[in-house]
Structure 1
Amino acid sequence: MAHSCAAVVPLFKNLNDEARAAIDALTHERQVEKGAVLISPDTAAHLLVVAHGKLKTYQLATNGKEQLLRVDGVGDYEGEAGLLNIANPNVYTETLTAATVCTISATDFQQLLLKQPQISLQLLTENARKMQALEKQAGYLGNDSINVRLTHYLLDLRTAAGQDTVTVPMAWTQLADYLGTTPETVSRTLKRLAEEKLIERSGKQVRILNAPVYNSSATP
């Protein structure tokens, strides 16, 4: 059976057709409904690849509150930490929409790394990118002012996009979780930035007109 995952995930982008065919032989593709928990402390270790739809990966705090870590789309993957026996038991991956996912078992993936060592290098690169994103998020959350958190997030999007107009890659409620605040506070802050002529917003598209400068001790 032909799968769509090996062709879309950056982890496998440098492989030839023969190597991708070998990966297809190891993958199990399935359709899942919105709200399905795909990775948790109770699931067996596996690599999970998104072929269609969106997932969210979050961490549960001691009080049970979700802290969003990232939103995954087509070509993204999760579960690599579990393959190396270093998974965080408080981290979960759940579908945000109906989705098509492919899974590769821990045993099969480890054998794949031995046969295709170039995947190991790509895995290190992609994991470094994830760590960089988590470090950025920690930087946002380390500031008491939501003005600063949201502004720095938008400026980082601008840097990544290389242009002043950016598209927020998640729903506003998810962005609020990601920044450790509420949707209402995000909405008020965006409105304030627009009133100050610092941004223009149309839906999830934001054009940065001028980079605001806030004192880190400013009131949220």
Structure 2
Amino acid sequence: MHSCTAVVPLFKKLNDQARAAIDALTHERQVEKGTVLLSPETDARLLVVAQGKLKTYQLSTNGKEQLLRVDGPGDYEGEAGLLNIASPNVYTEALTTATVCTISAADFQQLLMKQPQISLQLLTENTRKMQALEKQAGYLGNDSINVRLTHYLLDLRTAAGKDTVTVPMAWTQLADYLGTTPETVSRTLKRLANEKLIRRTGKQVTILNAEDMEDFVW
């Protein structure tokens, strides 16, 4: 059995026979860091991460990358293209050495007809991605990086249901995600820590005073 079908939530609820049928359609390979796996020029296909990390980003008209998300094991990309929804200037690239699986558009469409329950799970995951993009647009709509980062950390706290959260990407990637520089993110984190609003160890952040943090402006 391919390692991809074993880890991706999209397929986990299927029985062994159904997953074996998917394995027969799946192509697994290892890729090096920096490999572009999906772009406007590539054929439509579903791309599943088994090991390693990928990043999906959009290129602006001046060629600057805007990070959309970081994918790890069990995540997947390319579903929009499978449904004939254009994603202009969107690319998926390996952040590390990674193991990925691909399923062609034709095979995936046949799969949806044979396993209709996957459609509902796919819709749920697409909705989650849309909500994440809307949230990112909300961050970028604020001129102050201080407010962007503060709201991002508070949103992580809300999603986790606890005060201590782990930032799910490298700080440089978070800077790209929030449309700023790593230096600005670092300064903002230090200011929040100095004001006793957070405590940080590596990528683990503890929110010490959420109410004051939300109202804090400088």
Q: TM-score, normalised by structure 1?
A: 0.96
Structure 1 CA distance for aligned equivalents of residues 124 and 133 of structure 2: 15
* Amino acid corresponding to residue 73 of structure 1 in structure 2: G
For 1:7, the aligned partner's letter is A
In structure 2, what is the equivalent of residue 39 of structure 1?
38
SS in 2 for 1:153: helix
**Superposed CA RMSD:** 1.0
Q: Give CA deviations for 1:37-85 in whole Å, capped at 9, x if unaligned.
A: 0001111100000000000000000010000000000000000011111
1:29 maps to: 28
Paired amino acid for 2:214: V
Distance in structure 2 (CA, Å) of the matches to 1:191 and 1:122: 40
Hey, what's the Cα distance between the residues in 2 that align with 1:144 and 1:71? 24
Following superposition of structure 1 onto structure 2, how do residues 63-82 of structure 1 map, counting pairs within 5 Å? 63-82=62-81
Alpha-carbon distance, 1:162 to partner = 1.2
Partners of 1:213 and 1:128 lie apart in 2 by: 27
Give 1:79-158 correspondences, 5 Å limit: 79-158=78-157
The sequence identity of aligned pairs, in percent, is 87
Matches within 5 A, 1:185-200: 185-200=184-199
Q: Which runs of 4+ in 1 moved over 3 A?
A: none
2:47 alignment counterpart: 48
| 1-structure distance, mates of 2:205, 2:172 | 16
- 1:147 Cα deviation after fit: 1.2
Unmatched 5+ residue regions in structure 2?
A: none
Distance in 2 separating the partners of 1:26 and 1:89: 27
Preserved contact between residue 147 and residue 214 of structure 1 (Cα < 8 Å): no
Aligned length: 216
For residues 123-167 of structure 1, give each alpha carbon's deviation from its aligned partner in whole angstroms, at most 9, with x where no partner exists.
000000000100110010011111111011111111111111000
